[in-house]
Structure 1
């Protein structure tokens, strides 16, 4: 009995010695590591360190230097005769250096640091979300390459079978069993196969180049793309990075609420001022003097026209917005999962039918093979049946790759 074209997809898992191979999981890892957007996480961290250092400076002494020279049209005079008190000069000079040290602000500085850290985590998680969404693009490219890879194997099997059949036909023509032009039909079909090889190779090369750029990894036509064993586990819980992003947004809101609650807290500062000027602190001494003052001051915004309360109300609305975003995301994701499961079920049904069709095609081709040898049918009729079997086997391969892609997309939607 003749053996026909069936080529199991599992053949692509066999690697040649020294041949470069890549897996789907490696492509996931590489796109997350090498995509330009990935560098933003480190940039956000560096920016956060700088911003926190600026905020922390509020705990350090604050220095201010002031200098001024003035001329005024009038000065204070003592209206008491014979006191020998000289009036002040109309030109006056003063230079001071002041130091302010925060003693207490109700923890507002630490609260501001926590807000900045929460904001950075949110930005970094947004980067993770954007990178995660690239995985479906990787899926589409990877499984398209697998399909081209499998189609090449299948087409090669058809070519081998036609070449073997051509030898039989040439022999049959020689002995007068088969019509003289039958070999030309087979040769023409072999030329068509060469064209199909060129088209497959061109499409595969374009896909590989695109994937190579996406994951920033050198790939070429000789690279073997291993077929993943994609399993789907039906579970209720989602594990998407978007859910972590929503939680981080709520954490950021909570930290902002804490900061707002401390904005109206009394602030206690210590200060010291030293200076040199004419006049000094003694206004009756009309000469250049050194001077200094030290003390403590309290700053308390007793009434802010309900600004603090309104800011809290605004944050509460933001929290509700995040809750609605979370619910919407879960709803849309569950809808997408349900649709993807229906797609998986549909393709599995197609594969079952494909196998039955191929079995029928094999029986028909076996009969056609015998008829061709005996000169009952022409080479064209044989090629028709061979092409029918090839196309149905190609459909089976396509459906198997589509099934793997559907399962991989299901896992990405689920967050597995």
Structure 2
């Protein structure tokens, strides 16, 4: 059964890659799949309704009031000379209608629209910040899979070398130049390598499943990921982090809100129409008074805001200073992260410069041990160790290259590019 499992896994690893995907596609799909993406549409609809409400400020405002009741004390009557006044009805109905048409509201409508637009931009920028974290998660999983692929590639090369040695030692045993223990040592090492392949395979499978969940698309377990192409230089990049756009929009919103202080201190001018209906009317001698209509200009001025104007200005100033302080704090921390990422890049570059020389030496050592084994001057265990050391050196080179690429991408992501 164990042999059947190993043969099946070997067949799986020998299969060609099914499908291919790159990191940019993964990031785009992950953002589109994230539930928060729906916020953009909701913000747009909310802003549309808010602006529509603000535009209706200049529509006529109509109010109608009706009052009906029993007059306890009665209403006075006026009669002409020699005439008796009629006793007014104890039941009275009073109707009051009023219509107001705003001519100038001191800029309130314009300020409300500016605040609505600025608020929408702040909300969208906040969504951008939240979605940007998805990019970092995609990077971690994507490069994790690439690291596993690099390890599996070297394990395949190691398996080939061990199988060649296994054939060689079997032939030597048949000719009486080697022992069964030599054959068993190589077989045991082949099984160790196959065991590592199994571990890497299931780890990769879990990473692919996580990537599938992020992008909202089922990926085949053997999907091939393209290695990203990126410049080895991380310098001269503009900082395009979405947080900076958020702070800029928050300042615009604070400025729009501060404009309301001035608007609240301005008078409001409009047209006024009012009518009064009395039923039954009030008798004034030979005539009755039962209706009245008034048309003219209206002006109102609330001076309460004038006394608070100074404090409100100071509060607006403090609000803007807080936003600026948050921006400076973010840039400070961001700079620390960029310096750390730059140090990681330089470290990886320095390590990689030694990899080729190490590989050259480990390969020469392995060949030397193979020659010694043929001459009976060392054991098969020494040969296996030398083969493993060479494989480790090759694996480290691939690992360091992927780590450098990952560090470059981290720097790019931290800088918002």
Task: Report the TM-score, using the length of structure 2 for normalisation.
Answer: 0.89
Task: Say if 1:158 and 1:390, in contact at 8 Å, map to a contact too.
Answer: yes
Secondary structure of 1:239 counterpart: coil
> Which one is further off, 65-74 or 281-290?
281-290
Task: Say if 1:86 and 1:286, in contact at 8 Å, map to a contact too.
Answer: no
Structure 1 Cα separation of the partners of residues 230 and 173 of structure 2: 50
What residue ranges of structure 1 are gaps of 5+ in the alignment?
Answer: 1-14
Task: Say if 1:278 and 1:288, in contact at 8 Å, map to a contact too.
Answer: no
Aligned partner of 1:154 in structure 2 is 154
Aligned partner of 1:269 in structure 2 is 270
1:142 Cα deviation after fit: 0.8
Aligned partner of 1:226 in structure 2 is 226
Secondary structure of 1:254 counterpart: helix
1:290 Cα deviation after fit: 5.6
Q: 1:194 to 1:286 in 2, by over 3 A?
A: farther
Aligned partner of 1:260 in structure 2 is 261
Structure 2 Cα separation of the partners of residues 280 and 327 of structure 1: 72
Q: 1:32 to 1:288 in 2, by over 3 A?
A: farther
Q: 1:355 to 1:292 in 2, by over 3 A?
A: same
1:406 Cα deviation after fit: 0.7
| 1:339-381, Cα deviation, whole Å (9 max, x unpaired) | 1111111111122233322221111111122233344333222
Structure 1 Cα separation of the partners of residues 144 and 164 of structure 2: 30
Task: Give the ranges of 4+ consecutive aligned residues of structure 1 lying more than 6 Å apart after TM superposition.
Answer: 281-288
Structure 2 Cα separation of the partners of residues 33 and 236 of structure 1: 26
1:237 Cα deviation after fit: 4.0
| 1:45-91, Cα deviation, whole Å (9 max, x unpaired) | 11111111122221111222322321232123248785422243222
Aligned partner of 1:165 in structure 2 is 165
Structure 2 Cα separation of the partners of residues 281 and 227 of structure 1: 94
1:92 Cα deviation after fit: 1.2
| 1:182-215, Cα deviation, whole Å (9 max, x unpaired) | 1111111121222111110111111111122122
Structure 2 Cα separation of the partners of residues 381 and 250 of structure 1: 69
> Which one is further off, 136-145 or 297-306?
297-306
1:222-371 equivalences in 2 (<5 Å)? 222-231=222-231, 232-235=233-236, 237-274=238-275, 276-280=277-281, 289=290, 292-304=293-305, 306-371=307-372
Structure 2 Cα separation of the partners of residues 286 and 409 of structure 1: 91
1:306 Cα deviation after fit: 2.0
Secondary structure of 2:41 counterpart: helix
Secondary structure of 2:102 counterpart: strand
Aligned partner of 1:93 in structure 2 is 93
Aligned partner of 2:42 in structure 1 is 43
Structure 2 Cα separation of the partners of residues 414 and 79 of structure 1: 87
Secondary structure of 2:336 counterpart: helix
Task: Say if 1:205 and 1:220, in contact at 8 Å, map to a contact too.
Answer: no
Structure 1 Cα separation of the partners of residues 268 and 284 of structure 2: 32
1:332 Cα deviation after fit: 1.6
Aligned partner of 2:25 in structure 1 is 26
Task: Say if 1:115 and 1:259, in contact at 8 Å, map to a contact too.
Answer: no
Secondary structure of 2:305 counterpart: coil
1:279 Cα deviation after fit: 4.1
Aligned partner of 2:135 in structure 1 is 135
Secondary structure of 1:201 counterpart: helix
What residue ranges of structure 2 are gaps of 5+ in the alignment?
Answer: 1-14
Secondary structure of 1:69 counterpart: strand
Secondary structure of 1:295 counterpart: strand
Aligned partner of 2:6 in structure 1 is none
* Number of residue pairs matched by the alignment: 401
